[in-house]
C-alpha cells in the first residue's frame, strides 16, 4: 500500500543549528513533493515544492532535496530560530484527481 512516513518523534534543536526533517514514501511515483508548515490551531501553509527532476530546491533558509531512487525527501532549516518551531508536513500528489496525500508531520522545537 502507499505510505508517506515522517519522523514521528519531535525534533528538538538549539537555536542557530540546522534542522533536518525526513520524509520517506513507498509505492508512489510522484512528479513532485511539497512541504508545508502548520502552527497549533492553524491550517497548513505551503512552503516549497520540488519536482522529480530537481535534486535540490532552496528558499531563504530552507532547503529541500528529493531523491526518487531512495524515495526520500529531506527538509533543512539552516540557522534555525525559535520562530521556526512548528509541525512540518510533507505531501505527495496521488492519483488522477489531483489530491494531496500528507505524512503525519514532524514537530520541530527550536530552543533559544
Partner 1 sequence: GAGVSQSPRYKVAKRGQDVALRCDPISGHVSLFWYQQALGQGPEFLTYFQNEAQLDKSGLPSDRFFAERPEGSVSTLKIQRTQQEDSAVYLCASTLTGGGRRGNTIYFGEGSWLTVV
Residues at the interface with partner 1 (CB under 8 A): 4, 6, 31-32, 34, 41-46, 49, 51, 89, 91, 93-105
- Nearer to partner 1 (CB atom), residue 17 or residue 99: 99
For the CB of residue 87, give the shortest distance to partner 1 in the complex, in Å.
9
In the complex, the smallest distance separating the C-beta of residue 81 from partner 1, rounded to whole angstroms, is 23
From 81, 72, 92, 93, select the one nearest 21 (Cα to Cα): 72
Beta partners for 102?
91
We find the least distance from the C-beta atom of residue 67 to partner 1, in angstroms, to be 18
Least distance to partner 1 from the beta carbon of 80, Å?
22
Question: Closer CB to partner 1, residue 47 or residue 74?
Answer: 47
32-38/45-51 β-pairing: antiparallel
- Whichever of 5 and 65 has its CB closer to partner 1, that residue is 5
Residue closer to partner 1 (CB basis): 17 or 42 = 42
| Buried/exposed 63-99: b ≥16 CB within 10 Å, e otherwise | bbbbebeebbbbbbbeebeeebbbbbbbbbbbeeeee
The three-point CA angle 97-7-30 to 5° equals 25
Amino acid at each position: 500500500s502507499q505510505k508517506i512516513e515522517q519522523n514521528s518523534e519531535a525534533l528538538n534543536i538549539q537555536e542557530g543549528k540546522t534542522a533536518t526533517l525526513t520524509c520517506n514514501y513507498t509505492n508512489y511515483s510522484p512528479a513532485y513533493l511539497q512541504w508545508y508548515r502548520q502552527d497549533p490551531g492553524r491550517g497548513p501553509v505551503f512552503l516549497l515544492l520540488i519536482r522529480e527532476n530537481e535534486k535540490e530546491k532552496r528558499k531563504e533558509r530552507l532547503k529541500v532535496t528529493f531523491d526518487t531512487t531512495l524515495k526520500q525527501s529531506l527538509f533543512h532549516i539552516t540557522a534555525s530560530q525559535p520562530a521556526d518551531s512548528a509541525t512540518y508536513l510533507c505531501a505527495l500528489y496521488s492519483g488522477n484527481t489531483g489530491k494531496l496525500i500528507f505524512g503525519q508531520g514532524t514537530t520541530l522545537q527550536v530552543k533559544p
